A and B are shown apart, each in its own frame.
Chain A
Amino acid sequence: MEMTGADILIRSLSDEGVKHIFGYPGGAALHIYDAIYKQDKVQHILTRHEQGATHAADAYARADDSGKAGVVLVTSGPGVTNAVTGIATAYMDSIPMVVICGQVPTHLIGDDAFQEVDTVGITRPCVKHNFLIKDVRDVASTIKKAFFIAESGRPGPVVVDVPKDITAQTCEYLYPQHLTMRSYSPVTKGHPKQIKKAVELLLGAKRPIIYTGGGVVLGNAGDKLTEFVRRLGYPCTNTLMGLGAFPASDPLFVGMLGMHGTYEANMCMYECDVMLAVGARFDDRVTGELAKFSPNARIIHVDIDPSSIGKNVSVEVPIVGSAESVLEDMMAALNETSTQPDADALGQWWEQINRWRGLDSFGFDADGEFIKPQRVVKMLCDQTGGDAYITSDVGQHQMWAAQHYRFDKPRRWINSGGLGTMGFGLPAAMGVQLLHPKAEVACITGEASIQMCIQELAAIQQYELPIKIVCLNNRFMGMVRQWQEFFYDRRYSNSYMDSLPDFVKLAESFGHVGMRVENSGDLEGAMKEMLGMKNRAVFLDVVTDQAENVYPMIPGGAGHNEMVLKPGAQTDDMQERELA
């Protein structure tokens, strides 16, 4: 039976196992929206902005350990340009996503038609791949390819641009079961010789560190990593994107590393003699000044993307493969050899690490007149048993969430790490809650970030998603203010949040519960009350200390060993303390 391109498109999604798509209709996508109306397998979630749709679909994929892509549907022109921020966000964090875009009819392409943009051209630098469909007979196979590319290898967003006339034309429907592409076949299995070399190097280490990133989360290799690290008894640190891959409660965990990571994690990176990096990409926020990066380390780098290896830091043992497969093979190699880790050296190394730990670099003064933002996060962690899905926006609150919420499981921490997209948190929470309707989902945000996708409060109401929004309201773009305080002589140029809305009334006007806490003593009760409302979305506006900054910090141009631990503390003081 012949079907229209639009029906084929939706049927392909259904055959691909897609249950939810996030989107916003418009002229060029109308045939597709009509096809959605006529079926009930794929449910469309109407966001209030295309950026919201992409973030929601992105987080839907992040929270799903099946590795399936999130799916977005937008119209041509402004629909696409609004989606670009979300596509770039997914690209930077390697999130599998398929974005279907309506396009003007084929004969109008290039004519500057109404709502026309060069979608393939605009999205090219921020997608793993993109397609423009030119023949209705290619619709099903292109969708198949889009999912295959998005979900395999190093995942990423794939854009499929579909001209309106193609969605009206008809042909036979056949969804391909298998697919091979001569130009695309990612390697998953690490080279055995390299694995052997890596294990030998690891076992010879006196001051080892295992540094892992988002690749371990995306590759569902958390269990394998945990088993491997525990077997060796080596310290493990996670990047911002990698939190939860190794349980934060485990004594072998030395915390997050990087610009606002723990002192002990960064010092481990600086002092180590052997480093195993898995699914991490030596990002500038992780390495600090490259010239001062891990001066004595012999580095093993495991990554599924060959171009990640040797990009910023040269490595001794490169291994191309999936985190899961390589960790499994490394574990097997460990089991085959009689060599054991150097217990004496390791004992000394842990003594050193524990001295660094003793500085309690995430410590903060919880007392005082104003509510400390760190305390809010810690309390949320305690009251949710550390088991909630936490989404966040970008800025100080994001760092405090990463520092103080204890992530023991992968995929619980959902944030925009690479692109640093403000406005991500709220739509992301929607995506997560749709995927896990029974789970506790909280969005830790700030009063600046939340306003960037605030319109999604309407979608949250429409789909009855009981999201808990915890707004750390310091009346500033906190991270911008922090940098202006440190590096621009306190010239707070445009970082003050003037004319803030009344968030309680705002939430209520969308049909949600709004709450505001100003006094320290009211926080605990308010949070309990919020979490007790199982079927309602709640906006908890917490008025926090305006002057609080994120510590510790590696300033620009500094190395891991030059962290500033607290206000006024200079690096020299810090080192003196450490020596004492």
Chain B
Amino acid sequence: MRHIISVLLENESGALSRVAGLFSARGFNIESLTVAPTDDETLSRMTIVTEGGGDLVEQVTKQLNKLVDVVKLMELTEGPHIERELLLVKVRAMGSARDEVKRLVDIFRGRIVDVTDSIYTVELTGAGDKVDAFIDAIRPEDIIEVVRSGVSGIARGDRALKL
């Protein structure tokens, strides 16, 4: 099962490498990891997507909590939540494909943010599966470059990860 874990940690140099080191040392899988400072500049917020059974994710959260730099964490996938990922993709767009790509972008509610005579650069946000679906919808030979930000997420309703 896929799990999304949000982590608040001290915004200090080395904190990121502690988390990354923990995952590699314990053999935990990281599907994606994003990190940036929060409104409180002493804290960073990290979102980790990992794959595994319930026992594994329990061990992952316990090990994360054990890191001295980790202040608090929450498994987002335990409850209702919103998940978003940013996709930037450069697509070959010539002749009839120009219209087809434009239509696809509209259907997925993306935006074309850069245009040349042969290329569209598309911006799209959404949950991981929506991003996957968009990439699948484009012919592989037309894809020039793909950049995914990795998942960010937030819990719905009252549930919040804050101090």
Query: Interface residues, chain A, CB within 8 Å of chain B?
Result: 120-121, 124-125, 128-129, 132, 149, 181-184, 305-307, 310-311, 314
Contact = CB atoms under 8 A, between A and B. Distances in A.
Contact of B18 (A124, A306, A307, A310): A124
Contact of B17 (A124, A128, A305, A311): A124
Contacts of B59: 307, 310-311
B66 A307 contact: yes
Interface of B: 9-10, 13-14, 17-18, 21, 25, 55, 58-59, 62-63, 65-66, 68-71, 163
A305 B66 contact: yes
A310 B66 contact: no
A117 to B, nearest CB: 15
Q: Main secondary structure on chain B at its contact with chain A? A: helix
Nearest to A134: B13
16 contacts: A121-B17, A124-B17, A124-B18, A125-B21, A132-B13, A132-B14, A149-B68, A182-B71, A183-B68, A305-B66, A306-B62, A306-B66, A307-B65, A310-B55, A310-B58, A314-B55
B68 A306 contact: no
B10 to A, nearest CB: 6
Contacts of B21: 124-125
Given A121-B17, A307-B62, A129 B163 contact: no
B60 to A, nearest CB: 10
A149 B68 CA distance: 9
B14 A183 contact: no
Contacts of B163: 182
Nearest to B9: A183
B16 to A, nearest CB: 12
A184 B21 CA distance: 19
A183 B63 contact: no
Contacts of A184: 68
Most buried by B among A132, A149, A306: A306
A301 B62 CA distance: 15
A80 to B, nearest CB: 16
Contacts of A182: 71, 163
Contacts of A306: 62, 65-66
Nearest to B69: A183
A183 B25 contact: no
Nearest to A126: B25
A184 B10 CA distance: 11
Contacts of A128: 68
Contacts of B69: 183
Contacts of A149: 68
A183 B14 CA distance: 15
B129 to A, nearest CB: 31
A281 to B, nearest CB: 13
Contacts of A129: 68
Contact of A125 (B14, B25, B62, B70): B25
Nearest to B25: A125
Contacts of B65: 306-307
Nearest to A311: B59
Nearest to A181: B68
A239 B68 CA distance: 28
A183 B163 CA distance: 10
B138 to A, nearest CB: 41
A183 B55 contact: no
Nearest to A130: B14
Nearest to B60: A307
A307 B63 contact: yes
B67 to A, nearest CB: 8
Nearest to A184: B68
Given A124-B18, A132-B14, A184-B68, 20 more contacts: A120-B14, A124-B17, A124-B21, A125-B21, A125-B25, A128-B68, A132-B13, A149-B68, A181-B68, A182-B163, A183-B10, A183-B68, A183-B69, A183-B70, A306-B62, A307-B62, A307-B63, A310-B55, A310-B58, A314-B55
B163 to A, nearest CB: 7
Nearest to B71: A183
A121 B9 CA distance: 18
Nearest to A314: B55
A149 B163 CA distance: 21
Contacts of B62: 306-307
A310 B62 CA distance: 10
Contacts of B13: 132
Contacts of A311: 59
A306 B67 CA distance: 12
A145 to B, nearest CB: 9
B28 to A, nearest CB: 12
A121 B13 CA distance: 11
Nearest to B42: A182
A36 B147 CA distance: 55
A307 B14 CA distance: 22
A219 to B, nearest CB: 17
A515 B153 CA distance: 70
A26 B40 CA distance: 41
Q: Which 6 A-B pairs have the closest CB atoms?
A: A307-B62, A129-B68, A183-B71, A306-B62, A184-B68, A307-B63
Contacts of A132: 13-14
A183 B55 CA distance: 24
